[in-house]
């Protein structure tokens, strides 16, 4: 029997096939397994795979799940519609593009493209680009789109307009409007448009709403805690007819509020569907009990959550390993050494290890060490494969061929490789394009005679657009591989690269080869099956054309990238990209205040709770051993940062740590005999204690950080009287070790400590 491998709760969650269902799945509770079996069970019960829509968090997860379901219930299962929100709805938008006034060859803009469009608008509007910062604007626009607020709705929204005025940025609505206008002119959609336009499609076209409601009779959503309003609304609309909606998630792992994810979607599911059945998967099969309990103690500090108790039958396992090093370099060394030790002493391989960090820039120093020590590694985040310049250049050629209206692509490649078409000529083209209200490509092709250009430049432009046009004519006739290889050859990018005195040329050529292999794999991949609405016949979508390749790749994340399966490498990635993954040994590096939790969240309770959930996610990736590390000194953004250890360390009871941590704390404790509380940070949390402190007494405030000397008696607002034991650093970075009466030795950054001389 299919479901006999599941535990009782998992099994109940699978068997409840009809109606609204909410599955709260704790970390490591076999969520993917349950989802997989649930879908397999649906099919076994006679549900047509065509009628199943499964929305997952990564494309890779979708593909793995699909394969597993095929294994369980047979080949028919490959027809289920499964993938990320963005990839599924981009496919539907492609099919229905004309309803929205788009061609189906529309381009999907990534963040870089979007920012570039915004920068151009700010320039054209003659606005201050410091005030109208492109990242800020894109965030603002993205937030609006994720909440289904159109430019018009934005202008009509008093709240938003008031916020912008209060921020001295009254023109954001106008920029948003112009941004959308330009995207449309470029026949492009940004990431948020894929969701926004899907909503428009379902809102304005009743026949399509009905068509997809009928099509997707059973809807499953994974990682529901990370859905935003636009996603929530699509799901709500699509499931409104049959109400077979099953959402799976864990509120404790909600980590995407920054991009509009709304935790209320999962918290309020039962309000939306009062008849919803609730299932809780609480048994953790992944981690040791020490890790599970430590993670529980962290998440228990958060206030807003659905009650659940994650537990495990697994053995206690090893205590949490810890290292506080002097610098980021030493931290990296410690991690590498520990990995080597484990591999030598235990039955472990490089692929069993992951190093997780809060910010991408932390990967650099780690990478240096891995290189130096010859430990094979792979960085999953940071500059992704498709973000590399040489790859983006080629993809821009592809985009322009597929969609001649794509001005961003045009501008990127018009003079790369150099064709003697400089800024002056391009600006003339831009002005004319604006007057004619057509794309740059179109202007160059049809209106070139209207501008004054040197014959040489003019010929260059004509040659360029003629070349692109020739490719465009072929785009539906030959497959992506054939056309792609042709474009790469004719564009001369490879030859140009070879002539550059760039030490990284070999890498770049390798990357281009990898891109070509990816196109080949795409062309050779199995055809996607669709159902003919009229006849009910299954049809293979055989067009492996370049436009589909381009659309598909723009939605790939680095974690989706096919690892060369037998890759035995240590994984380096941000905690965000580690979501859903697991490793035997997990290192969380950079456990420091202002880094993790990020400086931007300190001061906001809500954001701090999200950081804490992020830490929870990091901890629960580990199966066998969890190691946390921090550095006293770290290079960041061109300067040295000194940070205290992360407050999250103190969220974990010290019993869960090994001696590395407790010895360190023991030392501190010995130096501070008068502070008897064993919880070494309770000072920070225990407000009562602070309230009972003597009221501040007099003293001289000090502004010059060099005025302090060892042995001086000082006064601190919270810790009271103390004596300076040691000073280190100078100027604004000066730190002091001060022995406070009743609080013991504290290390303080003088700039913030507001010490007074007694």
Partner DNA sequence: GGATTTGTTTCCACC
Partner DNA sequence: AAACAAATCC
Q: Which of 32, 359, 569, 668 is catalytic?
A: 32
Asked if residues 591 and 628 have their Cβ atoms less than 8 Å apart, the reply is yes
> How far is residue 182's CA from residue 187's CA, in Å, rounded to a whole number?
8
Coil/strand/helix, residue 701: strand
Task: Tell me the HSE value of 595 on the side-chain side, using a 13 A CA sphere.
Answer: 31
For the beta carbon of residue 703, count every other beta carbon within 10 angstroms.
6
Q: Which is nearer to DNA, 259 or 486 (CB)?
A: 259
Nearer to DNA, 429 or 714 (CB): 429
Task: Select which of 96, 192, 193, 223 is catalytic.
Answer: 223
Give the interface with DNA as residue ranges (CB under 7 A). Answer: 58, 84-87, 110-111, 116, 119, 123, 130, 133-135, 191-192, 256, 258-259, 358-361, 381, 415, 418-425, 454, 457, 555, 557-559, 574, 576-577, 598-601, 607, 635-638
The CA distances from residue 631 to 330, 525, 658, in Å, are 8, 46, 18
Closer by beta carbon to DNA, 183 or else 421: 421
377: nearest Cα among 521, 555, 518, 587: 587
Which ranges constitute the DSSP H helices of 492-524? 493-499, 505-524
> Are the CB atoms for 737 and 725 separated by under 8 Å?
yes
Q: Give 129's contacts (C-beta < 8 A, 6+ positions apart).
A: 119, 122, 123
Active site residue 223: yes
Three-state secondary-structure class, residue 281? strand
362 is catalytic: no
In the complex with DNA, which residue's Cβ is closer, 582 or 737?
A: 582
Nearest distance from C-beta of residue 14 to DNA, angstroms:
27
Judged by CB, which is closer to DNA: 364, or 685? 364
- Residue 258 or 372: the one with the smaller Cβ distance to DNA is 258
Tell me how far apart the alpha carbons of residues 592 and 751 are, in angstroms, rounded to a whole number.
Answer: 18
Looking at 56, 227, 253, 362, which residue is catalytic?
A: 253
Tell me which of 140, 324, 621, 623 is the catalytic residue: 621
State the minimum distance, in angstroms, from the CB of residue 404 to DNA: 22
> C-beta of 509: minimal distance to DNA in Å?
19
Q: Kindly tell me which of 599 and 741 has the beta carbon lying closer to DNA.
A: 599
Cα maximum dimension of the chain: 90
First and final CA of the chain: distance in angstroms? 78
> At closest approach, how far in Å is the CB of 416 from DNA?
10
Sheet containing 218-221, strands listed edge to edge, beginning at the edge strand earlier in sequence? 81-84, 52-56, 218-221, 245-249, 21-25, 277-281
Closest contact distance (angstroms) between CB of 758 and DNA is: 37
What's the min distance (Å) between Cβ of 407 and DNA? 15
Cα distances from 502 to residues 112, 496, 628, in angstroms, run 24, 11, 39
* In the complex, minimum distance from the CB of residue 175 to DNA, in angstroms, rounded to a whole number: 15
CB atoms within 10 A of CB 399: 30
Catalytic residue among 11, 31, 60, 286: 31
DSSP state of 527: P
* 74 Rama sector, left if φ>0, alpha if ψ -120 to 50, beta otherwise: left
- Between CA 740 and CA 351 the distance in angstroms is 47
561 catalytic per annotation:
no
Smallest separation (angstroms) from DNA to the CB of 550: 15
Establish whether 754 is a catalytic residue. no
Query: Cβ distance 177 to 149 under 8 Å?
Result: no
Residue nearer to DNA on the CB measure, 563 or 710? 563
Supply the minimum distance, in Å, between the C-beta of residue 594 and DNA: 9
Out of 222, 328, 330, 592, the active site residue is: 222
Provide the pairing of β-strand 107-109 with 81-84: unpaired
Pick between residue 13 and residue 61 the one whose CB is nearest to DNA.
61
Known catalytic membership, residue 605:
no
In terms of CB distance, is 360 or 660 closer to DNA?
360
Q: Do strands 245-249 and 81-84 pair parallel, antiparallel, or not at all (unpaired)?
A: unpaired
Q: For the CB of residue 142, give the shortest distance to DNA in the complex, in Å.
A: 7
Closest to 53 in 3D by CA, of 270, 250, 281, 244? 244
**Helix then strand then coil, % of the chain, to nearest 5:** 50, 15, 30
Asked if 31 is an active-site residue, the reply is yes
Q: Alpha carbon of 23 to those of 1, 221, 283, 322, 507: distances in Å?
A: 22, 10, 13, 35, 45
Q: What is the CA radius of gyration of the chain?
A: 29
Q: With respect to DNA, which residue has the nearer C-beta, 11 or 145?
A: 145
Among 376, 378, 368, 374, smallest CA distance to 329 is for 368
Other beta carbons within 10 Å of 561: 17
Mode of pairing for the β-strands spanning 245-249 and 735-740:
unpaired
CA distance linking residue 40 with residue 645, whole number of Å = 47
CB of 87 to DNA, least distance (A): 6
Q: Which is nearer to DNA, 630 or 714 (CB)?
A: 630
Closest CA to 631 of 366, 367, 375: 366
Task: Determine which helix (DSSP H) or strand (DSSP E) holds 21, and give its type and residue range.
Answer: strand 21-25
CB of 203 to DNA, least distance (A): 21
User: Angle CA(283)–CA(287)–CA(291) in degrees, nearest 5?
Assistant: 105
Which residues form the catalytic set? 31-32, 222-223, 253, 621
């Amino acid at each position: 029997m299919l479901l006999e491998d599941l535990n009782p709760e998992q099994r109940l969650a699978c068997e409840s096939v009809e109606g609204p269902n909410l599955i709260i799945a704790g970390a490591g509770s076999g969520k993917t397994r349950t989802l997989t079996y649930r879908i397999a069970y649906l099919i076994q019960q006679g549900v047509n795979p065509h009628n199943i829509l499964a929305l997952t968090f990564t494309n890779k997860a979708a593909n793995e799940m699909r394969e597993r379901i095929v294994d369980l219930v047979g080949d028919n299962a490959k027809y289920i519609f499964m993938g990320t929100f963005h990839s599924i709805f981009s496919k539907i938008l492609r099919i229905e593009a004309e309803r929205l006034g788009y061609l189906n060859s529309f381009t999907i803009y990534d963040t870089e493209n979007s920012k570039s469009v915004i920068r151009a608008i700010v320039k054209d509007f003659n606005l201050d680009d410091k005030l109208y910062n492109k990242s800020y604007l894109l965030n603002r626009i993205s937030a609006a789109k994720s909440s289904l607020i159109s430019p018009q709705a934005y202008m009509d929204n008093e709240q938003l307009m008031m916020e912008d005025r209060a921020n001295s940025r009254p023109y954001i609505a106008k920029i948003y409007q112009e941004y959308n206008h330009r995207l449309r002119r470029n026949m492009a959609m940004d990431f948020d448009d894929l969701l926004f336009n899907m909503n428009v499609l379902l809102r304005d076209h009743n026949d399509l709403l009905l068509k997809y409601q009928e099509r997707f009779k059973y809807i499953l959503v994974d990682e529901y805690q990370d859905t935003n309003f636009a996603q929530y609304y699509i799901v709500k609309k699509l499931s409104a007819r049959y109400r077979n909606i099953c959402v799976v998630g864990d509120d404790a792992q909600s980590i995407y509020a920054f991009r509009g994810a709304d935790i209320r979607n999962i918290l309020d599911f039962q309000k939306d569907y009062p008849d919803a059945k609730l299932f809780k998967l609480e048994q953790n099969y992944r981690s040791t009990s020490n890790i599970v309990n430590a993670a529980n103690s962290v998440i228990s500090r958060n206030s807003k959550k659905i009650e659940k108790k994650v537990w495990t039958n697994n053995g206690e396992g090893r205590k949490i390993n810890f290292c506080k090093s002097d610098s980021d370099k030493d931290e990296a060394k410690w991690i590498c050494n520990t990995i080597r030790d484990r591999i030598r002493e235990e039955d472990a391989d490089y692929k069993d290890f992951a190093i997780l960090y809060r910010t991408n820039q932390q990967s650099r120093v780690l990478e240096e060490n891995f290189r130096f020590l010859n430990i094979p590694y792979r960085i999953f985040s940071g500059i992704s494969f498709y973000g590399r310049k040489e790859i983006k250049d080629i993809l821009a050629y592809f985009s322009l061929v597929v969609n001649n209206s794509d001005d961003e692509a045009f501008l990127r490649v018009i003079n790369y490789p150099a064709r003697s078409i400089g800024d002056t000529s391009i600006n003339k083209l831009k002005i004319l394009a604006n007057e004619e209200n057509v794309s740059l490509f179109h202007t160059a092709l049809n209106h070139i005679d209207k501008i004054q250009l040197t014959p040489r430049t003019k010929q260059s432009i004509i040659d360029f657009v003629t070349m692109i046009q020739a490719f465009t004519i072929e785009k539906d006739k030959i497959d992506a591989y054939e056309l792609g290889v042709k474009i790469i050859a004719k564009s001369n990018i490879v030859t140009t690269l070879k002539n550059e005195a760039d030490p990284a040329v070999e890498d770049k050529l390798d990357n281009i080869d990898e891109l070509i292999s990816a196109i080949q794999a795409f062309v050779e991949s199995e055809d996607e099956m669709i159902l003919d609405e009229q006849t009910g016949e299954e049809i293979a979508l055989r067009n492996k054309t370049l436009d589909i390749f381009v659309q598909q790749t723009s939605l790939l994340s680095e974690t989706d990238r096919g690892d060369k399966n037998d890759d035995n490498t240590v994984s380096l990635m941000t905690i965000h990209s580690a979501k859903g993954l697991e490793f035997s040994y997990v290192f969380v590096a950079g456990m420091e205040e202002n880094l993790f939790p990020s400086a931007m969240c300190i001061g906001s309770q809500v954001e701090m709770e999200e950081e804490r959930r992020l830490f929870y996610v990091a901890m629960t990736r580990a199966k066998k051993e969890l190691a946390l590390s921090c550095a006293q000194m770290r290079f960041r953004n061109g300067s040295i940062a000194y940070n205290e250890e992360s407050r999250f360390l103190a969220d974990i009871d010290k019993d869960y740590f090994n001696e590395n941590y407790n010895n360190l704390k023991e030392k501190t404790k010995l130096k501070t005999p008068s502070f008897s509380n064993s919880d070494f940070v309770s000072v920070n949390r225990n407000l009562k204690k602070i309230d009972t402190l003597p009221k501040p007494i007099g003293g001289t405030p000090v502004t010059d950080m060099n005025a302090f000397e060892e042995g001086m008696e000082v006064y601190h607002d919270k810790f009271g009287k103390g004596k300076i034991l040691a000073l280190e650093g100078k100027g604004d970075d000066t730190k002091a070790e001060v022995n406070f009466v009743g609080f013991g030795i504290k290390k303080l950054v003088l700039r913030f400590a507001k010490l007074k001389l007694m």
